[in-house]
Chains A and B, each alone.
Chain A
Amino acid sequence: MTDTPIEQPASVAAAPVISARFAQGNEGYFTLVWRRFRRSVVGMIGLVLVLSLITISIFGDFFAPMDPKQSDLAFAPPDTISFQAPDGSFSLFPYVYPIIETGEMDPVTFQPITGPDKTNPTPLGFFVEGADYNVLGLIPANRHFFGATNGKPYHLLGTDKLGRDILSRGIIGSRISLMIALIVVSITTIIGTSIGITSGYLGGGIDTWVQRFVELILAFPQLPLYLALTSLIPITAPSSVFLAFVIAVLSALGWAQLSREVRSKTLSLARIEYVRAAQAVGAGDGRIIFRHILPNVLSHIIVAITLQIPAIVLIESFLGFLGFAVKPPLISWGLMLQDTGTFSVIGSYPWILSPVVFVLITVFAFNALGDGLRDAVDPY
């Protein structure tokens, strides 16, 4: 047999029927991943939530209904939204009515009856004027996503011990909490990946010693160590020091697990045929690591990142709950949870636990995204 006829790649009769769908379109890695990701309901929900979270966080001042520093009545309960206009008719736009005592007494308990004060309506609307702020720190504006049209205060989630609106503080607080998470995760990912790949690729003595070191780090009981380390910060230190310290502490231990996983993947990749082929054409170590090993470890890293972010957010909130948090004027969810440590406070004013909901939503969103990604990132 001389020259065999040139086969068209994807549609030869011998190839299975399915590959017809490869005939068109880009088959690059990210397209494949997106295609598979789209099919995961949980993942898509997570993606939408994460994107919304990030948007709300960046444009926090716009979304927050009130100025987070403005003080009102302390420990005020959440206002309820009603769709009744002051005259009793149905209104498309919601109103908020402060609760006041109606002057009558309940015949059985002799407690004053409380009810909505229709004489003091606070209509709500979208894109209302409110407190001044700067978009992205540069452009002055004063429109808020929604708020009271007559400028009166109202609190959908109640107020804290200094009378500040919890919802607004939660929205603004997302910035610091997410920022800490993103910075820590970036640092741990870079360190973990570098150490993992180097250790796995070079092998031998370096690998053994590095692995011993990693085992040492992993042997530390993490939570108590975080507690101990955060207690190192003097009470009087400014917030920026606290932030830097928390970031340093969380990064110091967080890279170890990732480095271990990256190393084991690198070990198997370092012997695989296409890496040997690259060595056979004369590619140097740098090229092999960056063009061959790293892209194939990437899938694992992406999933690890999306799952570590909520873990850091959680640790920050837990530390805040225990009393170690940033200082005003910075706001974070950890700080908001600092006041919730006492049982009596929770009992009388349960709404100050609302930051828990913020944390829950964030954790859920990133975990859902990570779950969806985990199935999608190995499309082969």
Chain B
Amino acid sequence: MASTDNPFAPAERYDLGAHGRTLTIDARNIEVKFKVEGGIVEAVKNVSFQLHKGETIALVGESGSGKSVTARTIMGLLTKRATVSPKTVIKLDGDDITKYTPAQMRGLRGNKVSMIFQEPMSSLNPVYTVGAQLAEILHLHNKLTRAEATSRVLELLDEVHIPDPAARINQYPHQLSGGQRQRVMIAMALANRPDVLIADEPTTALDVTIQAQILNLIKELKARYGMAVILITHDLTIVRRFAEYVYVMQAGEVKEHNVTEALFTKPRHAYTQHLLASEPKGIANPFAEASPVILEGRKVRVSYSLNSGGFFRPDIKELIAVDSLDLKLQQRETLGLVGESGSGKTTFGQALIRLLINATGEVYFNGEPIHNKDRRAMRPLRSRMQIVFQDPFASLNPRMSIRQIIEEGLIVNAIGANSRERVERVRQALRDAGLPDTILTRFPHEFSGGQRQRIAIARAIALEPEFILLDEPTSALDLSVQAQIIDLLRKLQSERGLSYLFISHDLKVVRALCHRVMVMQNGRIVEQGPVAEVLTSPKDPYTKRLVRAAFDIAA
């Protein structure tokens, strides 16, 4: 695709050398191919970019765009199955690092160019202490005594604002939270004061408030040490706040690049426009205030006993996941349940539809008490309340065909007099979910994440329920696919009069879809009310922090 020149993505950026800044990285014609089962995949087709000293650029794209592969090409971290084209030239301060020997590359890594990754849970080696792993990178590129290294490690931990560094040095990664682990990763990456920091989706796996803290930390350290940052993300809000220049990637190519504000206000390439339009927008369907209450929960409580001590000193604590909460959901209403990880929102939702057995409290569905019904008594009600899960890959049985998956509910609830009727209903459900009805004999692994989520929605609506519990249904999806699913949900609600309980940590999606919102923290509801109120002028301090972090990335 290098042949047809893209007028919006020339090899050189528009503000090259602007403001008198020197060029740190000049990358041209990055081309990477992977050998896989069944052929060759061109992960990166023709990508060029430039990075000035001390600035932040962003590589934006959805999954499969090639942005992570590009980053790893700079670091030389590609696997053996990858081939980088000889045409590729990456100049770091004038030297072509694609021609470096392995030893020279190793001298660069962790030293002049550092990288932090997406998953803080698995980025640190579980069997070594935090202090040991930090010391390792120091010893690797510097001559230090043990004592010098230790004091340096303490300094680093302090820099990334980890409380009580002296105790942390001897702790293992699993004893730290996700946010703290990412801070340790940042400390490790910055230990040798690199010129370039590559951050590959550094906050995607973190809670919204932590996300803001980490991004602002990177900004602070960058300013202090004059470091350049390549930020790789799919989150447009982050890009707009932190990046000075943006490259938009799709399917291994750069579709458009420009100075940030210019890109966001006047996008020129169709894909950029499509991407910007995919930000969750719109508001919830119109809703009659006086509709009857379809789901009500009173004093719902869920607790677990957890062993948080070690193997030899078990420390059994009672963990209260949902602390005596009330909830009211009306017909045709979409109620958003918002919180960070560990807030108890998923547990609350599943307790309400009685998928959890150890919950106490009262739950009424259409006025009928369901909290004292056993599994057998719940059966006839099941078809009226359905659920869609977050993970599109784990929510469909890989051994069952699409028809079998969707038909199962019909069979179990004896809906449809014979096989032909059931198949017709399955077809209708697929069509309503925006899928072709010819896919009955196919299997889940043949479909993408977004398509699988539609199949899951089809499974839910095939039973013609009145209420659907949507547990983070769009969190694992790309931005443009997310927009489609949101539209689908809105359409289904207005066509079928559905009520939704929408669980999410993404306030932007909640704003686009929900009428009311309840904010949860540590098993309690800290604030609730109409979406417009709570998300524009929150009253509770936690809600305020959440809103600021989600919409402004302010810590």
Contact = CB atoms under 8 A, between A and B. Distances in A.
Task: Please tell me whether chains A and B touch each other in their complex, using a CB distance cut-off of 8 A.
Answer: yes
A13 interface: yes
Contacts of A282: 378-380, 382-383, 409, 412-413
A274 B448 CA distance: 17
B398 A18 contact: no
A274 B394 contact: yes
Nearest to B469: A280
Interface in A12-48: 12-19, 21-22, 26-29
A1 interface: yes
A281 B382 contact: yes
B484 A4 contact: yes
Contacts of A300: none
Interface stretch (A66-74, A172-180, A289-297, A363-371): A289-297
Contact of B395 (A19, A274, A284): A274
A88 to B, nearest CB: 58
A10 interface: yes
Interface in A346-361: none
Given A8-B436, A27-B442, A280 B386 contact: yes
B410 to A, nearest CB: 9
Nearest to B385: A280
B409 A281 contact: yes
A380 B349 CA distance: 31
B32 interface: no
A295 B399 contact: yes
Nearest to A277: B395
Interface in B379-398: 379-380, 382-383, 385-387, 389, 391, 394-398
Interface in B352-383: 353, 355, 375, 378-380, 382-383
B387 A277 contact: yes
A277 B456 contact: yes
Contacts of B441: 26
B442 to A, nearest CB: 6
Contacts of B396: 274
Contact of B41 (A9, A17, A287, A291): A17
Interface in B511-552: none
Interface in B415-449: 434-436, 439, 441-443, 445-448
Contacts of A295: 397, 399
Nearest to A293: B397
Chain A interface bracket (under 10, 10 to 19, 20 to 34, 35 or more): 35 or more
Chain B interface bracket (under 10, 10 to 19, 20 to 34, 35 or more): 35 or more
B397 A296 contact: yes
Interface in B1-43: 36-39, 41-42
A330 interface: no
Contacts of A6: 434-436
A137 B448 CA distance: 56
A50 B487 CA distance: 56
Contacts of B326: none
B355 A280 contact: yes
A106 interface: no
A16 B447 CA distance: 11
A17 B436 contact: no
B399 A277 contact: no
A273 interface: yes
Interface string A292-308: 10011000000000000
Given A6-B436, A273-B395, A281-B383, 9 more contacts: A1-B484, A9-B435, A9-B439, A9-B446, A13-B251, A22-B446, A274-B397, A274-B405, A282-B383
20 contacts: A1-B483, A3-B491, A4-B484, A7-B451, A9-B435, A14-B62, A27-B442, A29-B398, A273-B391, A273-B395, A281-B382, A281-B408, A282-B379, A282-B409, A282-B412, A282-B413, A292-B397, A295-B397, A296-B397, A380-B398
Give me the 4 closest cross-chain CB pairs, A-B, nearest first: A282-B382, A281-B409, A273-B395, A273-B394
Interface of B: 36-39, 41-42, 62, 64, 251, 277, 353, 355, 375, 378-380, 382-383, 385-387, 389, 391, 394-401, 405, 408-409, 412-413, 434-436, 439, 441-443, 445-448, 451, 456, 459, 463, 483-484, 487, 491
